[in-house]
Amino acid sequence: MAAVLPSDVFSESQLDPALVKIADKVRRNERITDEDAILLFEKGSLSFVGSLANSIRERLHGDTTYFNRNFHIEPTNVCVYSCHFCSYSRVYAHRDEGWELSQQQMMDIVKSYDGKPVTEVHVVGGVHPKMNLEFFAELMRSIKGHRPDLHIKGFTAVELDYMFRKAKKTVEEGMAYLHEAGLDSLPGGGAEIFHPEIREQICADKIDGTGWLHIHETAHKLGMNTNATMLYGHIENYSHRVDHMSRLRALQDKTGGFNTFIPLKFRNQQNDMSHIKESTVIEDMRMYAIARIYMDNFPHLKAYWPMLGRHNAQLTLSFGVNDIDGTIDDTTKIYSMAGSEEQTPSMNTAQLVTLIKQARRKPVERGTLYNVIRDYSELDVKEIETNPLLN
Protein backbone atom coordinates (compact mmCIF):
# COMPACT_ATOMS: atom_id res chain seq x y z
CA MET A 1 0.00 0.00 0.00
CA ALA A 2 1.54 3.34 -1.01
CA ALA A 3 1.94 5.92 1.75
CA VAL A 4 -0.80 8.54 1.44
CA LEU A 5 0.38 11.90 2.67
CA PRO A 6 -2.09 14.07 4.54
CA SER A 7 -1.86 16.82 1.95
CA ASP A 8 -3.35 14.39 -0.59
CA VAL A 9 -6.38 13.80 1.59
CA PHE A 10 -7.22 17.13 3.18
CA SER A 11 -8.01 20.43 1.74
CA GLU A 12 -5.78 22.38 4.09
CA SER A 13 -7.73 25.60 3.66
CA GLN A 14 -10.53 24.01 5.70
CA LEU A 15 -8.26 23.00 8.56
CA ASP A 16 -7.36 24.80 11.76
CA PRO A 17 -3.95 26.43 10.94
CA ALA A 18 -2.41 24.78 14.01
CA LEU A 19 -3.39 21.36 12.63
CA VAL A 20 -1.86 22.27 9.27
CA LYS A 21 1.41 23.06 11.07
CA ILE A 22 1.35 19.64 12.74
CA ALA A 23 0.74 17.95 9.38
CA ASP A 24 3.74 19.86 8.00
CA LYS A 25 5.92 18.63 10.85
CA VAL A 26 4.87 15.05 10.19
CA ARG A 27 5.57 15.49 6.49
CA ARG A 28 9.06 16.81 7.33
CA ASN A 29 9.59 13.97 9.81
CA GLU A 30 9.88 16.42 12.73
CA ARG A 31 8.93 15.76 16.33
CA ILE A 32 5.62 17.20 17.57
CA THR A 33 5.37 18.97 20.94
CA ASP A 34 3.18 18.14 23.94
CA GLU A 35 0.90 21.07 22.98
CA ASP A 36 0.60 19.67 19.46
CA ALA A 37 -0.42 16.29 20.87
CA ILE A 38 -3.08 17.85 23.09
CA LEU A 39 -4.40 19.75 20.08
CA LEU A 40 -4.59 16.51 18.11
CA PHE A 41 -6.61 14.92 20.91
CA GLU A 42 -8.91 17.95 21.13
CA LYS A 43 -9.37 18.83 17.49
CA GLY A 44 -7.93 16.17 15.20
CA SER A 45 -10.65 14.21 13.42
CA LEU A 46 -10.31 10.46 13.13
CA SER A 47 -9.48 10.73 9.44
CA PHE A 48 -6.91 13.49 10.03
CA VAL A 49 -4.93 11.75 12.78
CA GLY A 50 -5.42 8.37 11.10
CA SER A 51 -3.96 9.54 7.82
CA LEU A 52 -0.94 11.16 9.53
CA ALA A 53 -0.33 8.03 11.62
CA ASN A 54 -0.68 5.77 8.61
CA SER A 55 1.88 7.78 6.66
CA ILE A 56 4.35 7.37 9.56
CA ARG A 57 3.59 3.66 9.89
CA GLU A 58 4.18 3.12 6.18
CA ARG A 59 7.37 5.20 6.23
CA LEU A 60 8.74 3.08 9.10
CA HIS A 61 7.42 -0.36 8.22
CA GLY A 62 5.65 -0.32 4.87
CA ASP A 63 2.86 -2.91 5.13
CA THR A 64 4.78 -5.20 7.46
CA THR A 65 2.68 -6.27 10.44
CA TYR A 66 4.36 -8.33 13.10
CA PHE A 67 2.99 -11.08 15.27
CA ASN A 68 4.67 -13.73 17.38
CA ARG A 69 3.99 -17.21 18.70
CA ASN A 70 3.80 -17.03 22.43
CA PHE A 71 2.06 -18.19 25.56
CA HIS A 72 1.63 -16.73 29.03
CA ILE A 73 2.33 -18.03 32.49
CA GLU A 74 0.32 -16.22 35.17
CA PRO A 75 1.87 -17.59 38.38
CA THR A 76 -0.85 -16.15 40.63
CA ASN A 77 -3.66 -13.63 40.80
CA VAL A 78 -3.17 -13.11 44.53
CA CYS A 79 -1.96 -9.56 45.00
CA VAL A 80 -0.85 -7.30 47.83
CA TYR A 81 -2.08 -4.27 45.89
CA SER A 82 -5.59 -3.14 45.12
CA CYS A 83 -5.67 -1.25 41.85
CA HIS A 84 -9.24 -0.10 41.31
CA PHE A 85 -9.28 -1.01 37.61
CA CYS A 86 -8.15 -4.60 38.20
CA SER A 87 -10.73 -7.35 37.71
CA TYR A 88 -8.24 -10.11 38.12
CA SER A 89 -6.57 -9.98 41.50
CA ARG A 90 -7.61 -11.43 44.85
CA VAL A 91 -6.32 -10.17 48.20
CA TYR A 92 -4.17 -12.55 50.24
CA ALA A 93 -6.97 -13.14 52.78
CA HIS A 94 -9.17 -14.47 49.93
CA ARG A 95 -6.46 -16.43 48.19
CA ASP A 96 -8.64 -19.54 48.20
CA GLU A 97 -10.68 -17.78 45.43
CA GLY A 98 -7.58 -17.34 43.29
CA TRP A 99 -4.68 -19.46 42.06
CA GLU A 100 -1.05 -19.96 43.12
CA LEU A 101 0.97 -22.10 40.73
CA SER A 102 3.89 -24.19 41.97
CA GLN A 103 7.22 -24.41 40.13
CA GLN A 104 6.13 -27.84 38.92
CA GLN A 105 2.80 -26.57 37.57
CA MET A 106 4.55 -23.73 35.73
CA MET A 107 7.13 -26.08 34.25
CA ASP A 108 4.28 -28.38 33.15
CA ILE A 109 2.88 -25.44 31.17
CA VAL A 110 6.31 -24.85 29.57
CA LYS A 111 6.65 -28.56 28.78
CA SER A 112 3.19 -28.67 27.19
CA TYR A 113 4.78 -26.57 24.38
CA ASP A 114 7.58 -29.04 23.72
CA GLY A 115 7.87 -29.53 19.96
CA LYS A 116 5.64 -26.53 19.25
CA PRO A 117 7.14 -23.55 17.44
CA VAL A 118 6.56 -20.91 20.13
CA THR A 119 9.38 -18.41 20.65
CA GLU A 120 8.30 -16.47 23.75
CA VAL A 121 6.83 -16.99 27.19
CA HIS A 122 5.29 -13.94 28.85
CA VAL A 123 5.33 -14.29 32.65
CA VAL A 124 3.05 -11.85 34.49
CA GLY A 125 0.75 -11.94 37.48
CA GLY A 126 -0.29 -10.52 40.81
CA VAL A 127 2.20 -9.55 43.51
CA HIS A 128 2.12 -12.50 45.88
CA PRO A 129 3.82 -11.88 49.25
CA LYS A 130 5.37 -15.36 49.29
CA MET A 131 6.57 -15.64 45.69
CA ASN A 132 9.91 -13.96 46.11
CA LEU A 133 13.00 -13.16 44.05
CA GLU A 134 14.53 -16.59 44.65
CA PHE A 135 11.29 -18.34 43.64
CA PHE A 136 11.26 -16.51 40.31
CA ALA A 137 15.03 -16.86 39.73
CA GLU A 138 14.55 -20.61 40.12
CA LEU A 139 11.68 -20.51 37.59
CA MET A 140 13.89 -18.61 35.11
CA ARG A 141 16.69 -21.18 35.51
CA SER A 142 14.29 -24.12 35.08
CA ILE A 143 12.72 -22.66 31.92
CA LYS A 144 16.12 -21.93 30.37
CA GLY A 145 17.42 -25.34 31.49
CA HIS A 146 14.53 -27.01 29.70
CA ARG A 147 14.31 -24.78 26.61
CA PRO A 148 17.26 -22.37 26.29
CA ASP A 149 16.00 -20.72 23.10
CA LEU A 150 12.65 -19.67 24.59
CA HIS A 151 12.69 -15.91 25.15
CA ILE A 152 11.46 -15.02 28.64
CA LYS A 153 9.63 -11.69 28.77
CA GLY A 154 8.67 -11.35 32.36
CA PHE A 155 7.42 -9.29 35.29
CA THR A 156 6.00 -5.79 35.35
CA ALA A 157 7.98 -3.10 37.13
CA VAL A 158 5.38 -3.46 39.92
CA GLU A 159 6.25 -7.12 40.53
CA LEU A 160 9.99 -6.40 40.27
CA ASP A 161 9.87 -3.46 42.67
CA TYR A 162 8.16 -5.61 45.32
CA MET A 163 10.45 -8.63 44.96
CA PHE A 164 13.65 -6.53 44.96
CA ARG A 165 12.62 -4.55 48.04
CA LYS A 166 11.63 -7.73 49.88
CA ALA A 167 14.99 -9.31 49.03
CA LYS A 168 16.73 -6.09 50.21
CA LYS A 169 18.39 -5.68 46.82
CA THR A 170 18.81 -2.48 44.85
CA VAL A 171 17.05 -2.35 41.48
CA GLU A 172 20.46 -2.76 39.81
CA GLU A 173 21.33 -5.84 41.88
CA GLY A 174 17.91 -7.48 41.57
CA MET A 175 17.68 -6.90 37.81
CA ALA A 176 21.20 -8.22 37.17
CA TYR A 177 20.36 -11.30 39.27
CA LEU A 178 17.18 -12.13 37.33
CA HIS A 179 18.85 -11.39 34.00
CA GLU A 180 21.65 -13.77 34.92
CA ALA A 181 19.05 -16.39 35.88
CA GLY A 182 17.46 -16.16 32.41
CA LEU A 183 15.10 -13.18 32.25
CA ASP A 184 15.54 -11.69 28.77
CA SER A 185 13.25 -8.67 28.60
CA LEU A 186 10.47 -6.84 30.44
CA PRO A 187 6.84 -6.42 29.37
CA GLY A 188 5.26 -2.98 29.57
CA GLY A 189 2.68 -3.52 32.32
CA GLY A 190 2.19 -1.58 35.52
CA ALA A 191 2.68 1.81 33.88
CA GLU A 192 -1.05 2.74 33.94
CA ILE A 193 -0.98 6.57 34.07
CA PHE A 194 2.18 8.06 35.59
CA HIS A 195 0.72 11.43 36.58
CA PRO A 196 0.20 11.41 40.38
CA GLU A 197 -3.17 13.19 40.09
CA ILE A 198 -4.56 10.05 38.43
CA ARG A 199 -2.22 7.37 39.79
CA GLU A 200 -3.20 8.25 43.36
CA GLN A 201 -6.85 7.64 42.51
CA ILE A 202 -6.54 4.38 40.57
CA CYS A 203 -3.52 2.56 42.03
CA ALA A 204 -2.15 4.61 44.93
CA ASP A 205 -0.34 1.82 46.74
CA LYS A 206 2.02 0.51 44.08
CA ILE A 207 5.25 1.89 42.61
CA ASP A 208 4.94 5.45 41.27
CA GLY A 209 5.77 6.69 37.80
CA THR A 210 9.34 7.67 38.65
CA GLY A 211 9.98 4.22 40.13
CA TRP A 212 8.51 2.49 37.06
CA LEU A 213 10.77 4.50 34.76
CA HIS A 214 13.82 3.79 36.94
CA ILE A 215 13.24 0.04 36.70
CA HIS A 216 13.01 0.20 32.90
CA GLU A 217 16.05 2.47 32.67
CA THR A 218 18.02 -0.01 34.76
CA ALA A 219 16.99 -2.88 32.48
CA HIS A 220 18.06 -0.84 29.43
CA LYS A 221 21.45 -0.16 31.03
CA LEU A 222 21.92 -3.91 31.38
CA GLY A 223 21.23 -4.29 27.67
CA MET A 224 17.69 -5.63 28.11
CA ASN A 225 14.85 -4.35 25.95
CA THR A 226 11.49 -3.49 27.43
CA ASN A 227 7.97 -2.41 26.42
CA ALA A 228 5.75 0.35 27.77
CA THR A 229 1.98 0.49 28.23
CA MET A 230 -0.56 3.18 29.07
CA LEU A 231 -3.98 2.39 30.54
CA TYR A 232 -6.34 4.91 28.93
CA GLY A 233 -10.04 5.65 28.75
CA HIS A 234 -11.04 5.99 32.42
CA ILE A 235 -10.65 9.13 34.57
CA GLU A 236 -7.58 10.62 32.91
CA ASN A 237 -7.76 13.61 30.58
CA TYR A 238 -5.76 14.27 27.42
CA SER A 239 -2.99 16.14 29.24
CA HIS A 240 -2.43 13.13 31.53
CA ARG A 241 -2.04 10.91 28.46
CA VAL A 242 0.44 13.33 26.91
CA ASP A 243 2.36 13.65 30.18
CA HIS A 244 2.64 9.84 30.29
CA MET A 245 3.86 9.56 26.72
CA SER A 246 6.22 12.50 27.22
CA ARG A 247 8.02 10.76 30.12
CA LEU A 248 8.39 7.62 28.03
CA ARG A 249 9.65 9.54 25.00
CA ALA A 250 12.23 11.33 27.17
CA LEU A 251 13.54 8.05 28.61
CA GLN A 252 13.69 6.53 25.14
CA ASP A 253 15.80 9.51 23.99
CA LYS A 254 18.19 8.67 26.80
CA THR A 255 18.43 4.87 26.50
CA GLY A 256 16.84 3.67 23.25
CA GLY A 257 15.84 0.50 25.13
CA PHE A 258 12.08 0.45 24.46
CA ASN A 259 10.78 -1.73 21.66
CA THR A 260 7.09 -1.07 21.59
CA PHE A 261 4.39 1.16 23.01
CA ILE A 262 1.08 -0.50 23.87
CA PRO A 263 -1.96 1.64 24.68
CA LEU A 264 -4.30 -0.52 26.79
CA LYS A 265 -8.01 0.28 26.64
CA PHE A 266 -9.63 0.28 30.08
CA ARG A 267 -12.22 -2.52 30.31
CA ASN A 268 -14.89 -2.01 32.95
CA GLN A 269 -16.26 -5.40 33.98
CA GLN A 270 -16.04 -6.69 37.57
CA ASN A 271 -13.84 -3.99 39.03
CA ASP A 272 -14.21 -0.94 41.29
CA MET A 273 -14.39 1.34 38.24
CA SER A 274 -17.29 -0.43 36.53
CA HIS A 275 -19.39 2.74 36.66
CA ILE A 276 -17.01 4.37 34.14
CA LYS A 277 -18.07 3.97 30.52
CA GLU A 278 -15.55 2.40 28.17
CA SER A 279 -14.03 4.48 25.36
CA THR A 280 -15.64 4.28 21.92
CA VAL A 281 -13.92 2.54 19.03
CA ILE A 282 -13.39 5.96 17.41
CA GLU A 283 -11.63 7.20 20.53
CA ASP A 284 -9.53 4.01 20.57
CA MET A 285 -8.40 4.52 16.98
CA ARG A 286 -7.60 8.19 17.68
CA MET A 287 -5.54 7.07 20.69
CA TYR A 288 -3.44 4.69 18.59
CA ALA A 289 -3.00 7.24 15.82
CA ILE A 290 -1.87 10.04 18.14
CA ALA A 291 0.48 7.66 19.93
CA ARG A 292 2.09 6.80 16.57
CA ILE A 293 2.48 10.49 15.71
CA TYR A 294 3.85 11.55 19.12
CA MET A 295 6.09 8.58 20.03
CA ASP A 296 8.52 9.22 17.21
CA ASN A 297 11.40 7.35 18.82
CA PHE A 298 9.45 4.14 19.55
CA PRO A 299 10.03 1.78 16.65
CA HIS A 300 6.81 -0.20 17.16
CA LEU A 301 3.20 0.38 18.17
CA LYS A 302 1.26 -2.66 19.36
CA ALA A 303 -2.46 -3.36 19.62
CA TYR A 304 -2.98 -6.18 22.06
CA TRP A 305 -5.86 -8.15 20.54
CA PRO A 306 -6.95 -10.13 23.67
CA MET A 307 -7.86 -6.80 25.24
CA LEU A 308 -9.17 -4.87 22.26
CA GLY A 309 -10.87 -7.77 20.52
CA ARG A 310 -9.50 -9.17 17.25
CA HIS A 311 -11.69 -7.07 14.93
CA ASN A 312 -10.78 -3.75 16.51
CA ALA A 313 -7.13 -4.83 16.61
CA GLN A 314 -7.42 -5.42 12.86
CA LEU A 315 -8.79 -1.90 12.43
CA THR A 316 -5.82 -0.36 14.29
CA LEU A 317 -3.59 -1.53 11.40
CA SER A 318 -4.90 1.50 9.49
CA PHE A 319 -4.21 3.83 12.45
CA GLY A 320 -0.48 3.47 13.01
CA VAL A 321 -0.22 0.00 14.52
CA ASN A 322 2.36 -2.44 13.11
CA ASP A 323 2.21 -5.29 15.67
CA ILE A 324 -0.66 -7.33 17.11
CA ASP A 325 1.18 -9.53 19.65
CA GLY A 326 0.79 -13.27 19.46
CA THR A 327 -1.06 -16.54 19.44
CA ILE A 328 -1.53 -16.50 23.29
CA ASP A 329 -3.26 -19.91 23.26
CA ASP A 330 -5.82 -19.02 25.93
CA THR A 331 -3.14 -18.63 28.60
CA THR A 332 -4.09 -15.21 29.98
CA LYS A 333 -7.05 -14.25 32.14
CA ILE A 334 -6.44 -10.53 32.76
CA TYR A 335 -8.69 -9.35 29.94
CA SER A 336 -11.41 -11.96 29.87
CA MET A 337 -12.01 -11.21 33.56
CA ALA A 338 -12.22 -7.48 32.76
CA GLY A 339 -14.92 -8.05 30.14
CA SER A 340 -13.06 -8.29 26.83
CA GLU A 341 -14.90 -9.80 23.84
CA GLU A 342 -12.09 -12.39 23.83
CA GLN A 343 -13.22 -14.77 26.57
CA THR A 344 -10.81 -17.56 25.55
CA PRO A 345 -8.02 -15.65 23.76
CA SER A 346 -6.33 -17.95 21.31
CA MET A 347 -5.50 -17.55 17.62
CA ASN A 348 -3.47 -19.97 15.59
CA THR A 349 -0.97 -18.77 13.00
CA ALA A 350 -3.42 -19.19 10.12
CA GLN A 351 -6.00 -17.03 11.90
CA LEU A 352 -3.48 -14.28 12.71
CA VAL A 353 -2.15 -14.31 9.16
CA THR A 354 -5.70 -14.12 7.75
CA LEU A 355 -6.56 -11.21 10.05
CA ILE A 356 -3.51 -9.27 8.85
CA LYS A 357 -4.03 -10.14 5.18
CA GLN A 358 -7.68 -9.05 5.32
CA ALA A 359 -6.39 -5.60 6.31
CA ARG A 360 -4.18 -5.68 3.17
CA ARG A 361 -1.01 -5.82 5.22
CA LYS A 362 1.98 -8.15 5.14
CA PRO A 363 2.08 -10.72 7.99
CA VAL A 364 5.56 -11.32 9.39
CA GLU A 365 6.32 -13.57 12.34
CA ARG A 366 8.88 -11.99 14.66
CA GLY A 367 10.85 -12.94 17.73
CA THR A 368 10.37 -10.82 20.87
CA LEU A 369 13.14 -8.45 19.76
CA TYR A 370 11.65 -8.03 16.27
CA ASN A 371 14.03 -10.38 14.52
CA VAL A 372 12.17 -11.66 11.46
CA ILE A 373 11.30 -15.35 11.68
CA ARG A 374 9.09 -15.79 8.59
CA ASP A 375 7.28 -13.69 6.03
CA TYR A 376 3.82 -15.20 5.46
CA SER A 377 2.67 -12.90 2.69
CA GLU A 378 3.18 -15.46 -0.06
CA LEU A 379 1.97 -18.46 1.93
CA ASP A 380 -1.49 -19.83 1.38
CA VAL A 381 -3.67 -20.24 4.51
CA LYS A 382 -4.34 -23.92 3.66
CA GLU A 383 -0.58 -24.52 3.51
CA ILE A 384 -0.18 -22.94 6.96
CA GLU A 385 -3.08 -24.91 8.43
CA THR A 386 -1.76 -28.26 7.27
CA ASN A 387 1.90 -27.75 8.21
CA PRO A 388 2.41 -28.50 11.94
CA LEU A 389 5.57 -26.39 11.94
CA LEU A 390 3.62 -23.38 10.81
CA ASN A 391 0.40 -23.65 12.81
- Report the interface residues with ligand V47, using CB under 6 A: 85-87, 124, 156, 187-190, 192, 227, 229, 231, 262, 264, 266-267, 271, 304, 307, 325, 334, 338
126 binds, among ligand V47, ligand SF4, none (CB under 5 to 8 A by kind): ligand SF4
Q: How far is the CB of 98 from ligand SF4 (least distance, A)?
A: 10
The bridge status of strand 70-73 relative to strand 120-123 is: parallel
266 binds, among ligand V47, ligand SF4, none (CB under 5 to 8 A by kind): ligand V47
Q: How far is the CB of 337 from ligand V47 (least distance, A)?
A: 8
Q: What does the alpha-carbon distance between residue 69 and residue 367 come to, in Å, rounded to a whole number?
A: 8
Q: What does the alpha-carbon distance between residue 3 and residue 207 come to, in Å, rounded to a whole number?
A: 41
Interface stretch with ligand SF4, choices 10-18, 43-51, 83-91, 272-280 (CB under 6 A): 83-91
Give every CB contact of residue 99 below 8 A, 6+ residues apart in sequence: 74, 76, 77, 78
C-beta nearest to ligand V47: residue: 189
Give 133 or 203: the residue with its C-beta nearer to ligand V47: 203
88 binds ligand SF4 (CB under 6 A): yes
Q: How far is the CB of 127 from ligand SF4 (least distance, A)?
A: 5
Residue 275 sits at the vertex; the CA angle it makes with 269 and 277, to the nearest 5 degrees, is 80
83 binds ligand SF4 (CB under 6 A): yes
187 binds, among ligand V47, ligand SF4, none (CB under 5 to 8 A by kind): ligand V47
161 binds, among ligand V47, ligand SF4, none (CB under 5 to 8 A by kind): none
127 close to 159: Cβ distance less than 8 angstroms:
yes
79 binds ligand SF4 (CB under 6 A): yes
Give 65 or 76: the residue with its C-beta nearer to ligand SF4: 76
Q: How far is the CB of 91 from ligand SF4 (least distance, A)?
A: 9
Give 66 or 88: the residue with its C-beta nearer to ligand SF4: 88
**Long-range pairs, 212-215, Cβ under 8 A, ≥24:** 212/157, 212/158, 213/247, 213/248, 213/251, 214/171, 215/157, 215/160, 215/161, 215/171, 215/175, 215/186
Give every CB contact of residue 100 below 8 A, 6+ residues apart in sequence: 75, 76, 78, 128, 131
Helices (H), 12-94: 17-27, 34-43, 46-61
The bridge status of strand 120-123 relative to strand 226-232 is: unpaired
Contact pick of 206, 241, 310, 366 for ligand SF4 (by CB under 6 A): 206
209 close to 198: Cβ distance less than 8 angstroms:
no
| Residues at the contact surface with ligand SF4, assessed by CB under 6 A | 79, 81-83, 86, 88-89, 126-127, 158, 203, 206
